[in-house]
Structure 1
């Protein structure tokens, strides 16, 4: 009798994946609690705190695993629904995407519950008190107001609640992408607190943790979402698996590099085997290495066979999920263990506030060459330059041309970002208002002008392969959907772009936001992002090579540029004439001996803001003149081609009209003469 192939019921597969995730979560909680128990007493003693008891010391890592597991599954499911599962750019989600969004909603509820539980646990742990002593509303609110980490978890709970509600009502692909972006935002409060956000070199530690946590979440959550999709018997299994395989490889590389950097900051190499923190770092490194090797070979083999059935990838993915969640448990234990660097020599005040020491007053040489590489914007500038050059190479390999001037503009724009954030200017910007203002001007007025002149969107649309008829949308279609989205049209509205560009100057520096942002490294990251994006959306419709969602006539472009000038000039003059020092508490706290006059430094910054406003105007006007000249040349060439094709019919018709008018006038004149006679 011939053997029959039995196809497993999708409901059985889904139950299996659910049991796998729960088992992995329990494993992570056990690992975190066990490793924390090994050093809990030493940790409290190191910080001079009493032992809060078993419920607090072991309950906190367990609850944190619960919150992080919810975050991982939520973000991974939204990633799958937005960019993994083929979907329509308009209209409701398909069944597979809707199922992934519903899973994300339940995971967001778990994330929210875990984050809320972490508020009292964090307060109890930070004060060395049993959990029941901080559960009263009055005590808890007082501790939350004083503890940044407790505030971070409360904010995280709010974001997770928005996601839980949003996943219940969202039905379209566009809003799924918005929810995915919000879910990534939910990781920021935790990144901004903890070991990496304090002490020396906290800029490198926070930036590397940013890369590490994002890549780990996308990898782990993406794999869980992929297994759930396969278990449901979802469509396009091979395509979804291949897309995730590419993401996972990039995430593993980013995790490896960022993890090494973060560990190097937190623990000296000679203490890797002599301290509890160092041993946990080594365990995590080994687990990540094993994950990278096993996952790659497993996934490549499974992707080739996934079309034959999902069971292969489900079996192989189970080992990867269990190892990943065990790694999460180790990471949670690391967060509960004081690093040796934090317990060592106390850094000086400057290093404690900005993350690194400063060697004397800034000179021209130091501003250019005494750099400190910015892991976020330095890396972004290099990656963007590489991607642009790769796109140009793709065009040239198939015989298409791309203007050299646009390539030069893009590379210069990336170089200006690199200089503003990773040279001596980036090093001194957090400590001196004048240097900060120079950085602000480069990021908001020089780099965006160069970037929009490079036409990156046009290059991407030409380099990316379009999806064929009947095929699911890919990167090119996603880019087109973003360009035609309501958000892009709203941002490029001339009035909105002008308000964001010039209004943000006043809102940031004269509302107290800048004073509140100065001590926070994450706030500097957001400020720099705002400077770049606000400048880009302002100059894109004015001189951008890429077609804007809202095309402007030439006179409107010139008017928009000239409308921004008075606001910008008056801002610089106001800073120069002001008698109140912006960010005075922070700058006085630095006590830099070579910058005693804070008001003079602020006036210098105002002068830089006023003078630098003329530079982009010259560049913009020159670019507009060149674009108008080229437009006239193109129109003349089109006219010549049309004239050659139709025998200059327009000119012939025009001459005929003049002849008739001339003949009619002559006839009219003769009749009038006869009448007079």
Structure 2
């Protein structure tokens, strides 16, 4: 380790720091320059007065500042959590600690930039000079009215938590937690801006979700990798190879999601005739250049990293500069109104849910009127592909995997796909009854099928364990998650039951559902919660994978029966209620075939009541089969043991009975003479 603190390593670390600062300045200049081409037109298009040069050019510069801090923070935590080899228990190693400290400084920069963006966003949205909104009372009023300003305020709070957390965290487990929190800090940006409003905002938001996270992991990961090599960090070759795999996946996701998002925002015929379209084309060209150059750079870097990492530092510098120039273009895109937003105003249904509805939800429309969900539809297809790949790997090794588990997994993925991407997913945001049907599939059918497939057991058999004394890999990370305090807490029977049954009542009867209906991101969160809460509940009950808290058979049966009244009462309560849940949103849609909102809600309650019993029957059947198989396996085990030891257990049991019988006879013989003498 002493060799890592030589002046050469310090000089390389300084070089990386200068590179990041230079790249950030380049991104700010690009963003400000490109904004100058369209900002004035944007204010005129939205009917706003010009807020002045400070607001006009200061906002993109400050946004680049915030995004620079975000990508460096997330990339450094990614490196510390999954790039640099570390023990699952105990304190971080020196390289991991250095990466976490760098993430802390970047989080501070992120926090400052996000906090500054609150007044800048308020001034920009109202067309006022920045000085006019710095009054506390005025600013608070504007923040309360502007979703984007709220998002930046929330982001600043999350970044502050990260900055403090990075100063006190010393273990690998808490580093993973901070990394998850850092990803959460990017989510408010997805929920606001151009992609979150107007027509097709469901596709635009979902694609932006993929685009933003993949770009952040790619850019931040490369900066963190360069910093690690500049410090003379250990396992440089392994760290570079791990990042290379992540970078390839991120580039593919960025390219695909960027194309989808562009077509959702700008019509094809205006791609070459508008400023927004020109910026999209520039960004596409930069991404292609990054993909090609970055691939060849990393291939060469992995070969030269053993010589000290100097090759990667030189090659990576070019990639970082192009990456941050791309960030500048992206910021300018965010400041430019897309043509679709300035074109014909979509109808009210399309404005609220993102797309039009062609008519009432007939059986054919519910089955075949597909609108692919980029988040859950993609997840279903990817998970199905990964599972089939794992089964294929086992077959190549000569290992067997039950066909029934594969069928269960594919059926579970198909149920998620149908619930979110078929006509059910299309009509769910607009009608309570269809939403409730989607809820039942995601929370009570798909999780049952998924846990019966044993995905964790398959993954543990496919993934290779780390060599003795070697750095941990994917298999060790999975085991660490399975045995983590969070997993043990979630699979606690009382917690799992409360999440599974209590969330029904908390969501629909507390006002949360009414607040979530107008927000597309809230629908994503709801669907994810339904699916995960169901999985956590059914995993310890009927799951093939060993649960962190194994339950006896009676406890499993008790959890199933305990959940039944809650679902029945929930459905009956909805059917008997005279208050329409989400009435303001549904009335705003003004769907001619869904004018009786109370009747539609009662239908949803009936679906919740009736469909809730079907998965429970499947669960009971699965429990009976598992108990029968467990008894059969136990009988076979005893038979094999008896064949080996000559049925020693039975012989010992018979001998015990013989001795007990002989003892009783002796006791009777000893008592009889006494009785005769007494006579």
Gapped regions of structure 1 (runs ≥ 5): 1-6
Partner-residue secondary structure (3-state), 1:667:
helix
1:588-609 CA-to-partner distances (Å, cap 9, x unmatched) read 0000000010000000000111
Deviations 1:373-415 (A, max 9, x none): 0000000000000111111111111111111111111111000
Matched, 1:353 2:352: yes
Given that residues 571 and 607 in structure 2 are in contact (C-alpha distance below 8 angstroms), is that contact kept between their aligned partners in structure 1?
yes
Partner of residue 4, structure 1: none
Q: Per-residue displacement from partner, 1:333-392 (whole Å, max 9, x unpaired)? A: 000000000000000000000000001100111111001100000000000001111111
Which residue in 1 is equivalent to 2:639? 640
Equivalent residue number for residue 504 of structure 1: 503
**Which residue matches 2:120?**
121
**Corresponding residue for 2:526?**
527
Q: Which is further off, 454-463 or 658-667? A: 658-667
Map of 1:610 onto structure 2:
609
How far apart, CA to CA, are the structure 2 residues paired with 1:676 and 1:265? 104
Corresponding residue of 2:80: 81
Cα separation, 2, equivalents of 1:241 and 1:360: 54
Task: Give the drift of 1:673.
Answer: 3.6
Q: Which stretch of the first structure deviates more once superposed, 286-295 or 387-396? A: 387-396
Q: Deviations over 1:529-558 (max 9, x none)?
A: 100111011111100011111110000100
User: 2:103 maps to what in 1?
Assistant: 104
What's the secondary structure of 1:547's corresponding residue? coil
| Equivalences for residues 243-392 of structure 1 within 5 A | 243-392=242-391
Deviates more, 1:393-402 or 1:208-217: 393-402
For residues 246-268 of structure 1, give each alpha carbon's deviation from its aligned partner in whole angstroms, at most 9, with x where no partner exists.
00000000000000000001111
C-alpha separation in 2, matches of 1:155 and 1:654: 70
Equivalent positions of 1:655-674 (< 5 A) are: 655-674=654-673
CA distance in 1, matches of 2:187, 2:517: 17
Query: Which residue does 1:38 correspond to in 2?
Result: 37
Name the stretch that deviates more: 655-664 or 18-27.
655-664
Separation (CA, whole Å) in 2 of partners of 1:522 and 1:65:
24
Matched residue SS, 2:404: helix
The alignment status of 1:205 with 2:204, answered yes or no, reads: yes
Structure 2 CA distance, aligned partners of 1:79 and 1:631?
A: 42
| Structure 2 match to 1:447 | 446
How is 1:60-79 mapped onto 2 (pairs within 5 angstroms)?
Answer: 60-79=59-78
Q: Report the secondary structure of 2:594's partner residue.
A: coil
Matched, 1:16 2:15: yes
1 CA distance for matches of 2:233 and 2:675? 94
Of stretches 105-114 and 664-673 in structure 1, the one that deviates more from structure 2 is: 664-673
Whether the aligned pair in 1 keeps the contact of 2:266 and 2:339 (CA below 8 Å) is yes
Q: Is the 8 A contact 2:232 2:308 kept in 1?
A: no
> Corresponding residue for 2:186?
187
Shift of 1:457: 0.5
* Aligned residue in 2 for 1:653: 652
Compute the TM-score of the two structures, normalised by the length of structure 1.
0.98
Deviation string 1:22-73 (CA, Å, 9 cap, x unpaired) is: 0000000000000000111111111111111111101100000000000000
Q: Name the SS for the 2:593 alignment partner.
A: coil
Could you say what secondary structure the match of 2:14 adopts? helix
Deviations 1:66-91 (A, max 9, x none): 00000000000000000000001011
Deviation at 1:637, TM superposition (A): 1.0
Cα separation, 2, equivalents of 1:103 and 1:309: 21
Secondary structure at the aligned position of 1:92 is classed as coil
Q: In structure 1, what is the Cα distance between the partners aligned to 2:661 and 2:193?
A: 88
**Structure 2 equivalent of residue 518 of structure 1:** 517
Q: Residue 3 of structure 2 aligns with which residue?
A: none
1:657 positional shift: 1.2
Instruction: Tell me by how many angstroms 1:140 deviates.
Output: 0.8
1-structure distance, mates of 2:19, 2:334 = 25
CA distance in 2, matches of 1:336, 1:425: 35
Q: CA deviation at 1:581?
A: 0.2
SS at match of 1:440: helix
1:427 matched to which residue of 2? 426
Per-residue CA shift, 1:254-291, capped at 9, x if unaligned?
Answer: 00000000000111111111100000000000000000
- Aligned residue for 2:93? 94
Q: What is the alpha-carbon distance in structure 2 between the residues aligned to residue 188 and residue 203 of structure 1?
A: 15
**Which residue is 1:469 aligned to?**
468
| Post-superposition CA distance 1:461-506 (Å, at most 9, x none) | 0000000111100000000000000000000000000000000000
Distance in 2, matches of 1:503 and 1:666, equals 63
CA–CA separation in structure 2 for the residues paired with 1:666 and 1:392 = 63
- What does the per-residue CA deviation read over 1:309-345, in whole Å, with 9 as the maximum and x for residues that have no partner? 2100000000000000000000000000000000000
- Structure 1 CA distance for aligned equivalents of residues 667 and 162 of structure 2: 80
Deviations, residues 415-461 of structure 1 (Å, cap 9, x unaligned): 00001000000000000000000000000000011111111111100
Q: State how far apart, in whole Å, the 2-side matches of 1:317 and 1:620 are.
A: 54
TM-score, normalising length from structure 2?
Answer: 0.98
Pairwise CA distance, 1:8: 6.8
Q: Secondary structure at the match of 1:9?
A: helix
Secondary structure of 2:165 counterpart: helix
Q: Distance in 2 between matches of 1:162 and 1:665?
A: 75
How far is the alpha carbon of 1:674 from its aligned partner?
Answer: 3.5
Q: Give, in whole Å, the separation in 2 of the partners of 1:672 and 1:33.
A: 109
1:672 Cα deviation from its structure 2 partner: 3.6
Rounded to whole Å, the distance in 1 between the matches of 2:306 and 2:7 is 15
Output the CA distance in 2 between the equivalents of 1:492 and 1:470: 31
- Taking the aligned partners of 1:667 and 1:39, their CA distance within structure 2 comes to 109
- Distance in 1 (alpha carbons) for counterparts of 2:326 and 2:675: 109
**Residue-by-residue CA offset, 1:542-588 (whole Å, 9 max, x unaligned):** 00011111110000100011001111110110000000000000000
| Number of equivalences | 671
SS in 2 for 1:594: helix
Task: Give the Cα separation in 2 of the matches to 1:25 and 1:372.
Answer: 39
- The correspondence of residues 548-587 of structure 1 with structure 2, limited to 5 A, is 548-587=547-586
State how far apart, in whole Å, the 2-side matches of 1:613 and 1:143 are. Answer: 45
User: Which residue in the other structure is 2:146 paired with?
Assistant: 147
